[in-house]
Every structure is written in C-alpha cells, then in structure tokens.
C-alpha cells in the first residue's frame, strides 16, 4: 500500500458491476484483490472536532488487513474529489482502538461494502457493492481519471460528491418508508 499523501478520485454510481468487470477484463486490467467484505469504523472526539474540520479518522478491516487512515478536508476539481490522505497498515486493530480511545477518539459511525480492486494502466479501479447500491471508484493521477472512466463506459460527469456516509444519510432521508440504521451495514 503506497501512501501518496493525496487522494484523487471519481465515485460513479452504476447499475451493474458485472458490466464494468467485463470491460476491465477486456481492457487487460489486472485484478488486485477479489471481492471481500470491508468494514470501516469512523472515529472522532466527543464534540466531533474532526468532522467539524471536514476530516476523517478511520479504522478499516479488509480481509486480513487492518488500515488506519486520516483524510483531510475535501475539495473538488469538476467531478474529481481531492483530499489529503495518509494510511498506515497496522497489526492489531483492537490495540489501535485502545490507543485512539486514550487520545480521545471514539467510534461515531460504521459502514460496510463488498469491494474488489483492479489496476488499469496508472489508475486503481474499485468495484463497491454497498447497502444502497453499486459504485465504481477510479483513483489515481487526476489527469488520468476521466479517460479511464470513459474507457470503462462510465461518464465522469456522473460522479457523485460526498463520502459513503454522507451518501447513506441522503439515501436514508429519501427512503423514509423503511427503518434504515444510521450505520451503512448489510442486513446479514
């Protein structure tokens, strides 16, 4: 896992991940990680100091990997999301929770998705199945993102803004007929 320091991405909702997967194979993309459940825990102070600054502190379990991530405030260049991102692979997620707790950070939200990742030229393409639908994230050099998305049959201008948790909040608000949990988790 390379820590580039800045995340640049397009997050595009799609109807069918299998079509994108077929296109990836046809374009000669290489699968990096098969689909597996990813569990994300967001942490903040009691007064939500990080989220108030537009920042995120996250612990992620992805297969056997555990990753601590800090993300800075988000900006956009057209449809491209840009933010500072620093990641560190850790051995013991439970001990890291204890350390972060001692520093005043406690869990404030949880979200899950089934994710597989691919490498296409100089970009990473991830296929995310979430409780609210499917998304393709194209991440890499900003100048490569639009062309990479188009080569997969995706329209860069259809990229959505926001994090999975903010998109989930919008989804819940738009589906008031169901009692959806505050956390974006699968029913299973």
pLDDT tens-digit readout, 14-53: 999 999 999 999 999 999 999 999 999 999 999 999 999 9
Distances (CA, A) of 114 to 29, 36, 81, 105, 180: 19, 5, 21, 26, 19
Give 157's contacts (C-beta < 8 A, 6+ positions apart).
Answer: 78, 79
**Is the CB of residue 125 less than 8 Å from the CB of residue 118?**
yes
Write out the CATH class of domain 7-174. mainly beta
pLDDT at residue number 110: 98
pLDDT tens-digit readout, 107-164: 999 999 999 999 999 999 999 999 999 999 999 999 999 999 999 999 999 999 999 9
Both tokens of residue 116? Answer: 């597989």
Residue 89 has pLDDT above 70, yes or no: yes
Q: What is the pTM of this model?
A: 0.93
| 3 — pLDDT class (breaks 50, 70, 90) | low
- Residue spans per domain, the chain: 7-174
Of 105, 103, 112, 67, the closest CA to residue 86 belongs to 67
DSSP summary character for residue 184: B
């Amino acid at each position: 896992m390379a820590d580039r320091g800045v995340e640049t991405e397009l997050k595009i909702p799609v109807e069918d991940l299998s079509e994108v997967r077929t296109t990836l194979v046809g374009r000669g993309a290489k699968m990096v990680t098969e689909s597996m459940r990813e569990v994300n825990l967001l942490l903040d102070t009691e007064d939500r100091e990080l989220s108030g600054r537009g920042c995120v502190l996250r612990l992620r379990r992805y297969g056997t990997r555990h990753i601590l991530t800090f993300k800075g405030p988000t900006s956009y260049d057209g449809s491209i999301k840009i933010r500072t991102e620093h990641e560190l692979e850790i051995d013991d997620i439970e001990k890291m929770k204890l350390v972060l707790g001692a520093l005043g950070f406690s869990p404030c939200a949880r979200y899950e998705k089934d994710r597989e990742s691919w490498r296409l030229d100089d970009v990473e393409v991830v296929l995310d199945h979430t409780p609210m639908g499917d998304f393709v994230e194209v991440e890499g050099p900003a100048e490569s993102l639009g062309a990479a998305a188009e080569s997969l049959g995706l329209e860069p201008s259809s990229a959505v803004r926001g994090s999975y948790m903010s998109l989930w909040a919008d989804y819940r608000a738009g589906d008031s007929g169901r009692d959806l949990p505050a956390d974006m988790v699968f029913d299973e």
